Amino acid sequence: MMILQGCVFSPPQRIPAPATQAPLFLPPTSAPLRNEPSQTPEQFQPTPTLPCVDSLTFISDLTIPDGSIIQAGASIDKRWEVENSGTCNWESGYFLRLIAGDELGAGLQLALTPARSGTRTVIRILFQAPAEPGNYRSAWQAHNPQGQPFGDPIFIDIVVEP
């Protein structure tokens, strides 16, 4: 009898459904769904692109070391190894400008050797030694197409003898 007392049957109780319960199944409709844009054109603002940065790093003199003795009137083939250490590519419009000293027959402005950002290149200028003996120095600096100077200056430093 004790066993039967623990087995009392009680009918299941129903829990009332809330009045706002969503239906379990929605039948498909023929009306297409519209995707609304998350931003209107007035709200869209493109990511600003930062301007590139011009820079030139001097690496080494490849020819005519500083203080080289040169014969008066001799042709000079000066070369420097440099790195385009900026983020801009040196393209059309980049130039070298004489910033101090004697032009040594090279003129006042020359096109800069094209170079991609992060690469090394050789800058070459052909000079003419003066007829007069003495110490001569010619300093040059790179400029971007807007005429702004940038980077390390490069120079030739020679002693002209008769």
DSSP 51-118: PP----EEEEE-SS-TTEEEETT-EEEEEEEEE--SSS-B-TT-EEEEEEE--TTS-SEEEPPPB-TT
Between residues 145 and 37, which one has the greater pLDDT?
145
Question: pLDDT grade, residue 32 (50/70/90)?
Answer: low
Predicted pLDDT of residue 34: 59
The share of the chain scoring above pLDDT 70, in percent, equals 70
Predicted pLDDT of residue 133: 97
Q: Name the residue among 160, 108, 112, 115 with its Cα closest to residue 134.
A: 160
CB atoms within 10 A of CB 79: 13
Distance from C-alpha of 35 to C-alpha of 32, rounded to nearest angstrom: 10
pTM of the complete model: 0.69
Predicted pLDDT of residue 1: 44
Distances (CA, A) of 136 to 10, 21, 52, 113, 155: 115, 94, 36, 24, 10
pLDDT at 27 > cutoff 70 = no
Average pLDDT over residues 65-92: 97
* Sequence ranges of the domains in the chain: 57-161
CATH topology of domain 57-161: Immunoglobulin-like (2.60.40)
Report the SS3 class of residue 24. Answer: coil
Question: pLDDT grade, residue 36 (50/70/90)?
Answer: low
Average pLDDT over residues 107-125: 97
Say which amino acid occupies 121.
T
Helix (H) and strand (E) counts for the chain?
Answer: 1, 8
Predicted pLDDT of residue 11: 58
